Amino acid sequence: MTTQSATALFATTAIASSEGAAAPEWVQLFPAGPQLVARDGRSWRLSDPQAVIAAFEANGAPIPIDYEHGQAHRAPKGETAPAAGWITAMEIREGAIWARAEWTDKAAAMIAAREYRFLSPEFYHTKAGEVFLVVGAGLVNRPALRMTALSRADDPTAPHTTETDMDLTALCRALGLDAGASVENILAAVERLQGEHRTALAAAEAPAMERFVPRADYDQAIARADTAETELAAVQTERQTGEISAAIEDAVKAGKIAPASRDHYRALCAVEGGLENFKKLVGTMPVIGTPSDLDERDPARPSGLSEQQRSIASMMGLSEEDYAKSL
């Protein structure tokens, strides 16, 4: 993948303002965009600083701060280019990008002694000049851009940008893209992740009302459900008891079972499927006794005759007592 890289010092404000001052934990890498213009005429765009930070975080590793951009100029020649520190985090402050730096003891001492006063970021940008990835930074003493950060005045005879083969395999892998994805696709993936992140934050701060139920309402609904379930069970039990009693009484009247065996058959019907089994059993049982009419008799009448028997006695011109004696 071919893209363009550049280094620039963006500051007139020193890292340590006076001798003996400690090296700062946070330093500025880029001023607020979108347009970044150098004194020598070079310019870039920082349209989406959050995308730059997202690309740094997707890499999953700190990036080096060296001396005079040694990683870019000396290391490719096999020369020593030690680290002065490491960028471990980035954040946006009023549109500018700031970085947390973990300095080596040597670099911290040099900054405190004002041997190095400015910081210059090294970054990649598209051919259109859009900054999309920070790959490092260097301690320098010749700032080139006017802003609250550090910059480096390049050799005026050197080209403003250089074509560089950049390996973005790790970044593509972290974004779920193919290794050969274009810069445009990488930026689109970063923007998509940003959108998903914003959506997730919004959902966490303001959950959808249809998914949110106050605890008091939830407890009340559960209590109502439990009450309704209890009442339904009672109704079902009462109905089942009525059906069992009716079936047993029908069997008694039909002479299929003895009245004294009611409780026995009621217990059998109470188990799961017992009523249906009882009905099937009664259908196959023979009549074991003449159906009794005792349950139809009126105990309040001396004769104890049933309505049908009283009707017969009346048609025969007999009193109920006389008719009862003839039975």
- Domains of the chain, by residue range, sit at 2-191, 213-292, 293-327
Q: Is residue 135 within 8 Å of 69, Cβ to Cβ?
A: no
Q: Higher-confidence residue: 120 or 39?
A: 120
Looking at every residue in the chain, the average pLDDT score rounds to: 76
Q: Evaluate if residue 146 carries a pLDDT over 70.
A: no
Q: Evaluate if residue 86 carries a pLDDT over 90.
A: yes
Least confident of 3-12, 37-46, 49-58, 93-102: 3-12
d(CA 188, CA 232): 58
> Closest by alpha carbon to 67, among 55, 51, 52, 85?
85
Rounded average pLDDT over 248-263: 84
Q: Evaluate if residue 89 carries a pLDDT over 90.
A: yes
- Token pair in block for residue 15: 């890292």
What whole-number percentage of the chain has pLDDT above 90?
A: 9
Rounded average pLDDT over 276-282: 84
Q: Indicate the DSSP class of residue 294.
A: G
pLDDT given at position 38: 67
pLDDT tens column, 25-82: 898 888 887 888 766 677 888 989 999 999 999 888 899 999 888 877 777 778 878 8
pLDDT given at position 293: 55
pLDDT given at position 103: 93
**pTM for the whole thing?**
0.45
Map tokens 């001023």 to a residue.
Answer: 31
Cα distances (Å, whole numbers) of residue 104 to 16, 33, 89: 15, 30, 16
Q: Is residue 165 within 8 Å of 2, Cβ to Cβ?
A: yes
Phi-psi label, residue 273: left if phi above 0, alpha if psi -120 to 50, beta otherwise: left
Phi-psi label, residue 255: left if phi above 0, alpha if psi -120 to 50, beta otherwise: left
pLDDT given at position 161: 38
The residues that bridge with 99 in the sheet, in sequence order, are: 27, 90
